[in-house]
Structure 1
Amino acid sequence: MSAPVFLPPTSYDYVTVHKVQGTTMTTASDVLAAEEPLEIRVGYGPTGEREHRTLSITMRTPGHDFELAAGFLLTEGIIHGRQDLHGVIYCPDVEKEDERENVVRAELAPTATPDLPRLERHFYTSSSCGVCGKTSIDAVHAAACPVLPTAGPYIDPAVIHQLPERQRAAQALFEQTGGLHAAALFSPAGELLLLREDVGRHNALDKVIGAALFQEMLPLHDAVLLVSGRASFELVQKAAVAGIPVLAAVGAPSSLAVQAANDFGMTLCGFVRQGRYNVYCHEWRLQSAGQEVE
């Protein structure tokens, strides 16, 4: 059974459009995916000596904002587990009431010891490019990514073929707008575990990882991740931080994504569509348990 999909009313907008077919123009209503800025603030320090600062501004589709913030904090190495995060709220001290749902504050646990130089760096993420500034895989290794399992999980190659259709069937917002990326977690048998949508593919993955963090599912050593676009270095990095051993993408991987996945021990599949896909590294996981790949 597919996981329930929550569709916030602010995640889409209705607009009037003019449709042209041949020489005929008609007026119709259309649905667009909403895109609004989200400011992520962070509070840290011992009780009575708390400090607050802005950490990131990202363009996102409203909805699952707390999960987005939590996933971002985890994949950027600000926190290392659920125990480091006290909670996430909409910031109550925003002056303009209509902007309060576009500003969240993540309160770290008083015992958490965040990397202060990392906090002092102001991230800017966009819905299209993700977190910029990472220039080497070594920098990601330094973020203490979990070690991926070296014995399984084993995935029947036929299961990978089924994932895009199962993902699309659960994309309620995509069906409304046609303009969103999705990230979905599946079991090795192909059962849908979690799915999130966003105008930004990196945001969609952060939302999934944040949801898994809140549900205490990390590390995701028995999960398969499917992303709706191409497989970038940043997506491989985020998946590795969450402990995901298999990443499949509808689009193509970049050369750095393949290099990173190979170094992390992650199985990477690309062009998963129309009954075919490529496996770029660690193909040994794509087999029935106990069978060898020829």
Structure 2
Amino acid sequence: MSMYYYGYNAGGYTTTSYGAQGGADGGGFLGGSQAGSQDTPGGTKRYGQDTLRPVTIKQLLDAVFPYPDAEAKVDGTSLTQVDLVGRVSTVSAQATNTTYKIDDGTGVIEVKQWVDGDAPPELQKYTPKEGDYVHVWGKLKEFNNRRHVGSHVIHPITDFNEISYHLLHATAVHLYFTRGPLGGANGAAVKSEGQGMFVDGGYGATNGAPGAVGKKLPPRISPIARKVYEFLQSTPQNNEGLHVHNISHQLNIPANEVFKAGDELLGEGLIYTTLDDETWAVLEY
């Protein structure tokens, strides 16, 4: 299935494709451009106009459906296919599909993965379990005022850099649509109300954005704990904070040393746990 991928840097789109196993609304395969076609109010079809956009879950929850069965809109732009990352909090298996609740720190949404019992073993889908971090490609749907993403593809995240990259990519695309191309005449445009990316609704809201000024650390704090604190303070992130393994990988410090540093910082009231005991954020007063 071919589709356009948002290219914010050049003010246009680049073409890409991926093999989609299973539809967003049922089992089986989607083939050709018809797979992504949508009815318009006039009853005509739009072929070959699919787009794939990186988003946060809050953007999906705040998206606007102009009319029933229409494509959702974020920042005034239609969403055909979406691209999100997050942590699986619950798994619910049914006869025809498995529903995952995905949390990315900005919100929680259900992702449905349809069962394809006829697929050969080499094409069997990856099935996430609770606690897994995943990358999802699919379509946002709304039924009875409840929203879910019908997944085309779900991949496990093994490199936590992928989470940071996704959030940066989603931010860049959001700014492209709300403020115009980099260096363009619309650089001072104001974002649409209700179309923020993060929990507080700010277009670039982060915990510990680059350049944030942190509190003075007590002299008893160890050098590694200082390094971890400074990393948490200066690294772009959402309200979920950062996982221990991500910190360990980025700083090239063994995970057990990061855990010790975290215990120091938690004991001093400098950081707090968010999703679980291994995900931390800076405590700001």
Give the TM-score band, short-chain normalised. under 0.3
More helix by share: 1
Normalised to the residue count of structure 1, the TM-score between the two structures is 0.27
Return the structure number with greater relative CO, CA threshold 8 A, min gap 6.
1
Task: State TM-score, norm by structure 2.
Answer: 0.27
